[in-house]
Structure 1
Amino acid sequence: MERRDTSFRVCVPLTKRVAIAVWKLATNADYRSIGHLFGVSKTTVCRCVQDFCDTAGQFLVAEQIKFPDQEKLQEMAAYFQNRWGLPQCVGAIDGSHIPILAPQDCHCDYFNRKGWHSIILKGIVDGRGLFWSVFTGMPGSLHDARVLRLSTFWELVNRGCLFPACTSNIGGVDAGFYILGDSAYPLQSWLMKPFLDTGRLTEGQQVYNRKISRARVVVENAFGRLKGRWRCLLKRNDSDVSLAKSMVLACRALHNLCETHGEEYNNGWSPTVEASDAAEPVVALGQGADEEGRDVREGLLQFLNA
Structure 2
Amino acid sequence: RQHQLQPTSWAFSRSSNWWDVIVPGFTTAQWVLNFLMSEESFQHLCEKVRPAMEKHNTTFRACVPLRKRVAVAVWKLATNADYRSITTVCRCVQDFCDAARERLVPELIKFPDLQTLQEMSAYFHSRWGLAQCVGAIDGSHIPIIAPQDFHCDYFNRKGWHSIILQAVVDGRGLFWSVSAGMPGSVHDARVLRLDIGGVDVGYYILGDSAYPLPRWLTKPFLDTGRLTAGQQLFNRKISRARVVAENAFGWLKGRWGCLLKCNDSNIAPVKSMVLACCALHNLCESHGEDDSNEWSLTVQAGAAAEPEVALGQTGDEEGKDVREALMRPLSS
Q: TM-score range by the shorter chain?
A: 0.7 to 0.9
Q: Any idea what SS the aligned residue of 2:242 has? A: helix
Aligned match of 2:118: 74
Question: Aligned equivalents of 2:73 and 2:174: distance in 1?
Answer: 22
Give the CA deviation at 1:204.
1.6
Conservation of the 8 A alpha-carbon contact between 2:157 and 2:306: no
Give the CA deviation at 1:9.
2.2
Conservation of the 8 A alpha-carbon contact between 2:147 and 2:265: no
Change (3 A) 1:95 1:21: same
Conservation of the 8 A alpha-carbon contact between 1:53 and 1:246: yes
Give the residue type in structure 1 aligned to 2:166: K
Aligned match of 1:13: 65
- Superposed CA RMSD: 1.6
Aligned match of 2:152: 108
Conservation of the 8 A alpha-carbon contact between 2:260 and 2:303: no
Aligned match of 1:186: 212
Aligned match of 1:214: 240
Is 1:51 matched up with 2:89?
no
Once the two structures are superposed, what CA deviation does each residue of 1:99-156 show, in whole Å capped at 9, x if it has no partner?
01111111111111111110000000111111111111000000000110100x2133
Give the residue type in structure 2 aligned to 1:241: I
Conservation of the 8 A alpha-carbon contact between 2:144 and 2:263: yes
Pairs within 5 Å for 1:260-271: 260-266=286-292, 268-270=294-296
Once the two structures are superposed, what CA deviation does each residue of 1:59-92 show, in whole Å capped at 9, x if it has no partner?
1000101101222211110111111111000000
The farther-off stretch of 87-96 and 264-273 is: 264-273
**Equivalent pairs, count:** 278
Aligned match of 2:139: 95
Aligned match of 1:252: 278
Aligned match of 2:86: 42
Question: Aligned equivalents of 1:234 and 1:275: distance in 2?
Answer: 7
Conservation of the 8 A alpha-carbon contact between 2:260 and 2:304: no
Q: Any idea what SS the aligned residue of 1:113 has? A: coil
Question: Aligned equivalents of 1:149 and 1:17: distance in 2?
Answer: 38
Deviating 4+ runs (over 3 angstroms): 273-278
Question: Aligned equivalents of 2:62 and 2:82: distance in 1?
Answer: 24
Conservation of the 8 A alpha-carbon contact between 2:55 and 2:63: yes
Conservation of the 8 A alpha-carbon contact between 1:93 and 1:180: yes
Aligned match of 1:243: 269
Question: Aligned equivalents of 1:182 and 1:155: distance in 2?
Answer: 18
Name the TM-score, length of structure 1 as normaliser: 0.87
Match of 1:277 among 299, 305, 317: 305
Match of 2:198 among 155, 167, 183: 155
The farther-off stretch of 52-61 and 4-13 is: 4-13
Aligned match of 2:17: none
Change (3 A) 1:237 1:275: closer
Give the residue type in structure 2 aligned to 1:75: E
Change (3 A) 1:108 1:25: same
Question: Aligned equivalents of 1:258 and 1:305: distance in 2?
Answer: 41
Give the CA deviation at 1:274.
4.9
Give the CA deviation at 1:267.
6.1
Q: Any idea what SS the aligned residue of 2:224 has? A: coil
Give the residue type in structure 1 aligned to 2:254: G
Which consecutive unaligned segments of at least 5 residues does structure 2 have?
A: 1-52
Question: Aligned equivalents of 1:2 and 1:150: distance in 2?
Answer: 35
Question: Aligned equivalents of 2:256 and 2:81: distance in 1?
Answer: 11
Match of 2:82 among 30, 40, 43: 30
Give the CA deviation at 1:234.
0.9
Once the two structures are superposed, what CA deviation does each residue of 1:196-226 show, in whole Å capped at 9, x if it has no partner?
1112212221111111101111110111001
Conservation of the 8 A alpha-carbon contact between 2:135 and 2:206: yes
Q: Any idea what SS the aligned residue of 1:206 has? A: helix
